[in-house]
Copies of this chain bind each other. A is one copy, B any other.
Amino acid sequence: MSTTQSLSVKSPTSKFEKSQMPLPALGPDSVHIKIKYSGICHSDIHQARDEWFEGIFPMVPGHEIAGEVVAVGSNVTKLKVGDKAGVGTFVDSCRECEYCLAGKENYCLKGNVQTYNGRHYDGTPTYGGYAQDIVVDHKYTLKIPENLDLAAAAPLLCAGVTVYSPLNHWGVKAGMRVGILGLGGLGHMAVKFSVAMGAETYVLGHTASKAQDAKDFGAKEYLITSEIAETHKNFFDVILNTTSADLNVDSLLGMLRVGGSLVNVGLPGNSQNYNPFSLVTGLKSIAGANTGGIQETQDMLDFCGEHNIVSIIELLDATDPATIDQAYSRVVGSDVRYRFVIDASTI
């Protein structure tokens, strides 16, 4: 079996190190992508540190993968050598359940195959994007529009689709007011999408430190969440929560218009409380969403191509693997504007 140069951790308490990891052989349905850039998602940290569940080690995190096609199998027509291509959060799904058949592979009933820290259906572990190569079934690859900067496009594959999908599902468009709670990796993408979809977009945060950035991304206003419970009643059609902090759910529901939704993509570790009166009195909803299907991810990338939307990134040179450990610390401390991306040529 061939291998690829990777950045891996041996255990939940290990530092990153360079290592050669297995690379599947090219089959008739495969696409071999030479990885150019790989985003760092907060979920990489949760998984590399076993904060969610017991992981598979050694682990090569990374599910925001952007690169160039260097080989394709004989059945592959959607991509050709030289194309800009991407891989997101999963690399296979059962292909049979009602959700796979409906293009919602992100909700596959059998459980899709996560890009890293997962297992293929034959039991072999998956290794992710902090590497120089990946070989993936063509059905689970995405085409990245040629006009997008490839490094800044990498975070679209998770952060991008994670917020695009709910904004799309909840019908965000001109004439609506959308509140984006939190302005981090997810939030800054959500602002760009919501603005491009035509909605009057607001950022809700707990300090004004990012107020200018919010406006630069097209937001109409930056609001301090704790100050607007009374002044912004019946105001938003959708509030998208991109944070993992505990929420004052009833206060946020009070800011929604009749029929409005508080949609969660950020995941607080604790259960949250709501008063049923807060929902009943205005036909309101508390909802959640988890990434998107393959077609929806492609639609998102095409939308980005049309509107020239990419992530704001800080590019990392991984010549010294400790750079990744340091980047993780900064992500945990919310000290990144707005997404770290690893330059794979330095791995």
Using CB atoms and an 8 Å cutoff, list the residues of chain A in contact with chain B.
99, 104, 107, 109, 169, 234, 258, 261, 264-265, 267-268, 271-290
Contacts and interface: CB of A to CB of B under 8 A. Distances in A.
Contacts of A267: 276-277, 280
Given A107-B258, A258-B107, A264 B286 contact: no
A110 to B, nearest CB: 12
Nearest to A250: B271
Q: Is the interface of A mostly helix, strand, loop or mixed?
A: mixed
Contact of A283 (B271, B272, B287): B287
A285 B283 contact: no
B288 A279 contact: yes
Nearest to A268: B276
Given A99-B258, A104-B258, A258-B107, A283 B290 contact: yes
Contact of A281 (B277, B282, B286, B290): B290
Contacts of A278: 288
Contacts of A271: 273-276
Given A271-B275, A275-B271, A276-B272, A285 B261 contact: yes
Copies in the complex: 2
Contacts of A272: 273-276
B264 A279 contact: yes
A280 B277 CA distance: 22
B285 A107 contact: no
A191 to B, nearest CB: 20
Contacts of A282: 107, 288, 290
Contacts of A279: 264, 286-288
A274 B274 contact: yes
B276 A264 contact: yes
23 contacts: A107-B258, A107-B282, A107-B283, A169-B283, A261-B285, A264-B280, A267-B276, A267-B277, A267-B280, A268-B276, A271-B274, A272-B276, A278-B288, A279-B286, A279-B287, A279-B288, A280-B288, A282-B288, A282-B290, A283-B287, A283-B290, A285-B285, A286-B286
Contacts of A258: 99, 104, 107
A286 B261 contact: no
A283 B105 CA distance: 13
A278 B270 CA distance: 12
A280 B276 CA distance: 19
